[in-house]
A and B are shown apart, each in its own frame.
Chain A
Amino acid sequence: MNAPWPPISSLIIVPALGALGCLAPWFSAKFDKNARVCRLWAIAVSVFTLVILAAFAGAATATPGYVLGLEEVHPWIPSLGISFHLKLDGLSFAFTLLTAVVTLAVVAWPSRPATAGAGWYALLLVGEATVMGAFLATDLVLFYVFFEAMLLPVLGALALWGGAARLNAALKFLVYTMVGSALMFLSILYLGWHAQSMGHTLGGNFLFEITTLASLKMLTSSEQLALGLAFLLAFAIKIPMVPFHGWLPDTYREAPHGLAAFTAALLGKVGIYAIIRFMWPLFPDFMAQAGVYLAAAGAIAVVYGALVAMTQKDLRSLLAYSSVSHLGFCVLGVAGVSTMAMTGAVFQAVSHGIVTAALFLTVGVITDRQGARDFDRLGGLAKAVPVSAFFLMVFSVAAVALPLTSSFVGEFLILVGSWKLFPIWTGVAALGVVLGAVYTLTAYLKTMFGPLHPSDAIAGGDVRGSSALVLAALAGLVVALGVVPGGLLEVISPAVQVSSTSSLMADSSILQAFKR
């Protein structure tokens, strides 16, 4: 196995070290001015991370026909058979790319919570490192560690700089996700123990490496059912799927803009990713049977989220429920063995991450300026803040998945790809096309059109300077991915194909490597 250079782990280590750097004394000596310097440092770190990732992609695309698939293994707790095992294939690449882009956008965003200093950037970079870890780990225990660890920076930032009800929101978020992952953790232990009892071990002990575990095909269908449900609960809460979304509106409402963008863009995607990466290979029979329920859940989430979004008057809550709706498409996409739909789901996850982060940031500018997030206290802003109005239009258009935006690619591939397997649920999900237009355009109408709402608290102005730069870059990305998505699709599709059909064609070469 060729060790890649730079090592894959640099995607985790660089932001982690960057976060440590933020805590260095020269940043916190004097508060505000140094926080600004710290921002530049954080930008540099996240650009560097993005460059590393681009280097991997560059190396992969340089050779035609080459399929991205890098691995890195270090012993970690050998006595338990737990290794620091990372893998960067097309699936991971798509999600790590999203992570790098969104982190860069959020740290580069000029406004941060009023009382926050260098700690803000430190937590965001820790967030990047842990999310990267979750998207790269192929050892289940390692994955679990990252899966839990990525909560900490988010909870920390939420509790420190959130809105009035921040502690409640943070508690709710914490308890929800802990409940979900507790059962998953037990299931992971069971898997490791089971592999050992079958005589398959890593260095004489348990085994948690996903590819090997999957290739063993050791689980009976009832075991698959029990363990699969446990895994699914964890991911259903994380994505979140209806009705496990109770934590979401509170968190999104109370989080500071940047954090809401970060959370909405990245955290739920780990759930989508994990279904493809772990559930399909580990529990193929369960997934084959549960597929139609998963598709139904996705389609219902699309409609449910849209219907609730239609009644929301708070822009943040509206965005929160629209996320529920859009992620429903992703769930539909990962529900069946269709490379087209699953590739679309990954693409849609990436696209939704970018678009939703941009929407949270843009809405932040508007609501800060007006001191209000309710429709009743907004209106007619297109004249007052034309640049924000422009960007909000671009990202709204992307949110309703107009062709030549990235969201269309995802939604189209999901809907067309899923049609053959689940025609009815695909049809239900397609209703989201109409309902999405209703709430998105209504939000735009109430915010930007009509007569200008006389507002008493006008603080700050339009999008300008570095915030305009960030939004322009995100908009450019949305359009670029919408016009030439082929490159990313080519990278994603072989990886999801392997994942979803690994039960049929177990990769015995890796198994051989371990036996040696």
Chain B
Amino acid sequence: MPNADLKPETLFKYVLRLADDQLILGQRLGEWCGHAPTLEEELALANIGLDLLGQARSLYSYAGEIEGKGRGEDDLAFLRPEREYLNALLVEQPNGDFAVTIVRQVFHAAFMVPFWRAMTASSDETLAAIAAKSLKEVEYHLRHSSEWLIRLGDGTQESHRRSQDALEELWGYASELFEMDALAEEILDCGIAVDAAALKAEWDATVNAVLERAALTRPADSWSQSGGRSGRHSEHLGHILSELQYMQRTYPGLSW
């Protein structure tokens, strides 16, 4: 720990936020198994979900070490109540139609690429290592979802309409990704965290470039919604958790 003043529980929460984002979005993508429009796309969504799950596992293991109370990755992923999950609201939004899933993915990946890139310079060696690994993965996640959004937006009237609707539906959830509260600021001051607010310009540039090629219109900034970072969620998270946690709640301590 590079800064003696930094309390372990502060860093623990910061790492949990990151882990929860990847876990919940990975779980959402997994829901497409057996339902995707084509077999190839099913493999793609499952592969991306698996990458996110792998990233979440590394982060949960590290969070457990920081906390130092003997909780491992499974305890943190499966045995917390809803209000203790600290993911952004964007990642828990329902899959909707294929356009909603793809827009959500573009928003997330366009944020994670500069985020992980910046995190590779963290003074925390474990987070820097996870970042270097994850960066390679989110780069092709962004490519995958951007290519789809361009095809959908610049496709048929129906796919264009649905993509524009998806953009409007999810736009208000994007701003939460860039929020910096006292906890994030404190960790930023220690040289560990990434200044999420500073990533907005790159996110805008990426998203604008994709939207332009997709012949889609950037929604106007109007309403926005947040609260996930402090455990206040939309009604959707509870339903995700009921499925995600089912096995561990039914058979406590079950392991492979």
Answer yes or no: are A and B bound together in one complex.
no
- The interface of chain B, by Cβ under 8 A from chain A, is none
- The interface of chain A, by Cβ under 8 A from chain B, is none
